[in-house]
Amino acid sequence: MTEQDLPHEIVAKAQEYLSDFKNARAAKTIRAFENGVRLFRAWCDRDEKSWFPATPATVAAFVASIGAQPFTRVVIKRRTPTTITTGPVAAATMKQYLWAVGLLHRSADLPDPTKSGKVAFAVDAFERAVGVEQRQAPALTREVSDRLVEAIEERLAAAAADGAPPSLYDLRDRALILTWRDTLARVSELIRLRWDDVAPHPVKPPGSVKIRRSKTDQKGQGHQRHLTERTLAALTAWRQAHAALLAAASPAQRARIAAMAEDAAALSADRAVFVGVHRGGLTPLSTTAAVRVLNDRATWAGVLHVFSGHSVRVGTTQDLLAAGYDALAVAQAGGWKDTKMVLRYGARLLTDRSAVAQHECDRGRASGD
């Protein structure tokens, strides 16, 4: 049986459910669902198995196959056949695929094949074979970020000494790195910051910035993050340059920005804190561009590492734990709902707070007495 053989009312029910789902969830969640279903369907089509509805045996075979060997298929991208290879995959990725398959079936009130004992055994076997440890992004600690910012400030100082105007990219990138470090923001949160969200402290300096939405706050309750005096100064310098860029934009560029600004929910170039400067004008910075800034600046400063969008978040978490702050305070600073990720990021650092480490420290003090 295929989806074409299903009764019309079941297909209609699934379509209605998934339409509501897409209206209620973030774009990244929707993409994860669509990618998971698309992959499962392609795998089933290759082996001539029914993908909707699917049997527990089919899902279990999918787990064993994708987990053990690459699966290659051809898809059409921009009207061009493109070969894509998936697998072997990590345990967390496999669970995301199964979530998508299960959601698809639940949307039509069909039995969820991923909840069967057969699939559970297949997942257990897969996890025993590959392990469940997740790879951690390379940490960009304060020591490293200081080197990046110092290299930028040397360029700014050299320009000032020569009587030349400061580089717009230097002003932007300094503010970006410092803001990223202060807020422990995810890269997706950083690029969505608005100038309206940056404010001085109501009672004492320096200030704060509001993260409007996050992975754990899809409904937009918002979360305030501290900004240091140095970061506020860097943001102020960049804001002046940003305003000058807007003023110098062509009439066509300004018209495009104004048209987007009519939608209060849209992130237009005049509202966005961090923007890209292109031949076509100004646009809010993308996640890819923000990560590229880190790596380009790292190369310029002689730091021979490749960083990801989570590197600043991991590194600052480790800095705070190493300085003695407890996991709960770090979780609050980074907008986590609990301390799970904080403890994972700082697993090695926190071994010195174990009972064995403290006992040895106490023994050392006692023998010193």
Find, among 217, 170, 228, the residue nearest to 189 by Cα. Answer: 217
Q: Is this prediction's pTM over 0.85?
A: no
276-to-148, 270, 288 alpha-carbon distances in Å: 19, 12, 11
State how far the Cα of 341 lies from the Cα of 328, in Å rounded to an integer: 11
Q: 280-294 burial string, b = 16+ CB within 10 Å, else e? A: ebbbbbeeebbbebb
Over the stretch 62-108, which tens digit does the pLDDT of each residue have? 999 887 778 887 766 677 777 888 767 888 889 999 999 999 999 99
Structure tokens at 77: 């991208």
CA distance 148 to 180: 13
Cα dihedral: 169, 170, 172, 178 (round 10): 150
How far does the chain reach from its first CA to its final CA, in angstroms? 79
Those residues of the chain that have pLDDT short of 70 are 1-6, 75-77, 87, 132, 134, 217, 220, 280, 359, 367-369
**pLDDT, tens digit (0-9, with 9 covering 90-100), for 233-280:** 999 999 999 999 888 888 888 888 888 877 777 788 899 999 998 776
Rounded Cα distance between 3 and 53, Å, is 7
CA distances from 220 to 13, 179, 184, 191, 212 (A): 29, 20, 18, 16, 6
